[in-house]
Amino acid sequence: MDQQQPVPGSLSWRLSSHPITLLTFLGFRISSLVVYLFGLLVTHNLVMIFIITILLLAADFYYMKNIAGRRLVGLRWWNEVDPATGDSHWVFESSEPGTKVINPTDSRFFWIAIYAQPLFWIALAIVAIFSFKFIWLPLVAIALVLTITNTLAFSRCDKFSQASNIAGSAFSGGNLAGSIATNMVGRFFGSR
């Protein structure tokens, strides 16, 4: 009896190019939700659940921003402050086209997890409001800030990467339009 192999891009961690990174990423994403739900439903010990959930959210934020994003989808972002002016701007980094092949399974897991988690926290905020457990709302608000920041940053990073690839391919053709497109994309995304 032959077992059917999963189709590339399907949601099977066995198809991942970086299974340890993927499982760690998913573990951090799920663990903060599980600890919060456990505290909400079972222990009611706000201080302990608050501390553990914040630590898991911080670990998830760091791991996703600096490790999982780069290894799974070839994207990374950070915020820089100009010391002279004090202005803050986001910097987006993507792997060079052709140097890193993005595994479709890794990409699907990454983008589903990045968009699903804020939705879960929004649902938990609604539950806290309608169950009159307002004391849990600051924790949910912190979770929303962290998860939405990563979601927005990686979404912008992905758009920047796609725009850079288009401009770069036009530039590599050696034409004037490619040079103009590269400069416009660099200025548009570099100034924000």
Write out pLDDT tens, residues 76-91.
Answer: 889 899 899 889 888 8
Q: Is residue 189 in a domain?
A: no
- Average pLDDT of 59-75? 93
- The whole-number pLDDT of residue 7 equals 65
Give 189's pLDDT tier (boundaries 50, 70, 90). very low
Domain encompassing residue 85: 13-151
Number of domains in the chain: 1
Q: Quick check: 175 pLDDT over 90?
A: no
The mean predicted confidence, pLDDT, of the chain is: 82
Q: Is residue 177 in a domain?
A: no
Which residues have C-beta within 8 Å of that of residue 144, sequence separation ≥ 6? 118, 121, 122, 125
Residue 144 to residue 123: CA distance in whole angstroms? 11
Q: Is residue 76 in a domain?
A: yes
CA torsion sign for 33, 39, 40, 41 is positive
Q: Is residue 157 in a domain?
A: no
Q: Is residue 156 in a domain?
A: no
Q: Is residue 160 in a domain?
A: no
Which residues have C-beta within 8 Å of that of residue 18, sequence separation ≥ 6? 71, 72, 103, 106
Among candidates 74, 75, 72, which has minimal Cα distance to 108? 72
If one compares 3 and 152, the residue with the highest pLDDT of the two is 152
Residue 71 to residue 80: CA distance in whole angstroms? 22
Q: Quick check: 181 pLDDT over 90?
A: no
Q: Is residue 190 in a domain?
A: no
**Count of residues in the chain:** 192
Residue 98 to residue 85: CA distance in whole angstroms? 37
Q: Is residue 2 in a domain?
A: no
CA torsion sign for 48, 52, 57, 62 is positive
pTM higher than the cut 0.85: no
22-62 confidence digits (pLDDT tens): 999 999 999 999 999 988 888 878 899 999 999 999 999 99
